């Protein structure tokens, strides 16, 4: 029998893209609620009680409620993949980034509770954790993370503000910083999953393109532990050497590329890591290039689903 998948919140941006990725597959049975029924508590409960896998594309509080509803129905067979922030630092949930370490895929496969990483977090953790694990970066190293994302990461409200000039709350700039309080919701998971003990400075931004993302971490080599550009490059290459979805640009590629564009990874479910800099200047800039809705959200959720079903 085909496993039944219920996307709770399938009419939102992340849910729609998950549904698109699953639409042509014949190995799963998709349970679905009509748009007008998405807030019907009884119908949601019925779906959550019947499915084999629930993919939650909901705000944090609604995601917690969905987990509670699953437990109330007695649906012990159900595996939950939560794309919200609600459970990303919980030790009771498997973190849904299979590339986190050599054991993470198995943890995801065997867990009933999986928390999808955030989009910015995916890039930052992918760059930082290998260096911390290798001892090249201390856990209390001061880190600054700069990032730019396509506006679809802000959901339907931001999409409407960027796309519709008649919207009274329309945003007419081509680029803007946000999270000016320095309290972005992705920071706790970056710290917890990368192994940072000192809170990083994180400055996200949004530009007028739909999908794509760059996460940039500039560092001074003399703040690291006997690090060189070659050591950083080889550490990342070794860490992700067998990965299907995380690739590391070669030194030659990093030296010769003239521009790095976030849109180049739109509609892709993989990620590319770059090492820029030189030993003479003592500067290095680590960059992750991905799609905020691909490896940063919907694509990652489907990758986690595939591990659950394998």
Q: Annotated catalytic sites, by residue?
A: 119
Q: What secondary structure does DSSP assign to the chain, as a single string?
A: -PPEEEEETTTSHHHHHHHHHHTT-SS-EEE---GGGTT-HHHHHHHHHH-SEEEE-S-HHHHHHHHHHHHHHT-TT-EEEE-SSTTTT-TTSEES-GGGSTTHHHHHHH-SEEEPPPHHHHHHHHHHHHHHHTTSS-TT---EEEEEEEGGGGHHHHHHHHH-TTSTT----SEEE--TTS--TTHHHHHHHHT--SPPEEEEEEESSSS-EEEEEEEEGGGSSS--HHHHHHHHHHHTTT-SSEEE--HHHHHH-----GGGGTT-S-EEEEEEEETTTTEEEEEEEE-TTIIIIIHHHHHHHHHHH-
């Amino acid at each position: 029998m085909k496993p039944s998948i219920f996307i709770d919140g399938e009419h939102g941006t992340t849910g729609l893209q998950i549904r698109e990725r699953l639409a042509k597959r014949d190995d799963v049975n998709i349970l679905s609620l009509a748009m007008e029924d998405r807030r019907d508590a009884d119908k949601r409960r019925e779906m959550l009680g019947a499915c084999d896998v629930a993919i939650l594309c909901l705000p944090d509080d609604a995601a917690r409620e969905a987990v509670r509803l699953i437990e109330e129905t007695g649906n012990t067979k159900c595996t939950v993949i939560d794309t919200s922030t609600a459970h990303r630092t919980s030790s009771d949930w498997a973190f849904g980034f299979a590339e986190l370490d050599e054991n993470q895929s198995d943890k995801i496969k065997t867990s009933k509770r999986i928390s999808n990483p955030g989009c910015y977090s995916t890039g930052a953790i992918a760059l930082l954790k290998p260096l911390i694990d290798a001892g090249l970066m201390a856990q209390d190293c001061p880190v600054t993370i700069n990032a730019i994302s396509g506006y679809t990461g802000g959901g339907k409200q931001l999409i409407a503000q960027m796309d519709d000039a008649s919207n009274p709350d329309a945003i007419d700039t081509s680029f803007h910083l946000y999270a000016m309080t320095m309290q972005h919701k992705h920071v706790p998971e970056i710290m917890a999953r990368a192994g940072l003990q000192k809170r990083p400075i994180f400055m996200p931004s949004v530009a007028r393109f739909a999908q794509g993302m760059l996460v940039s971490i500039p560092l001074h080599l003399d703040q690291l532990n006997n690090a060189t550009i070659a050591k950083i490059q080889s550490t990342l290459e070794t860490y992700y050497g067998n990965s299907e979805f995380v690739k590391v640009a070669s030194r030659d590629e990093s030296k010769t590329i003239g521009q790095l564009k976030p849109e180049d990874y739109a509609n892709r479910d993989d990620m590319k890591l770059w090492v820029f800099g030189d030993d003479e200047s003592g500067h290095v800039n680590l960059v992750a290039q991905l799609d905020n809705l691909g490896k940063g959200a919907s694509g990652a959720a489907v990758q986690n689903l595939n591990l659950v079903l394998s």
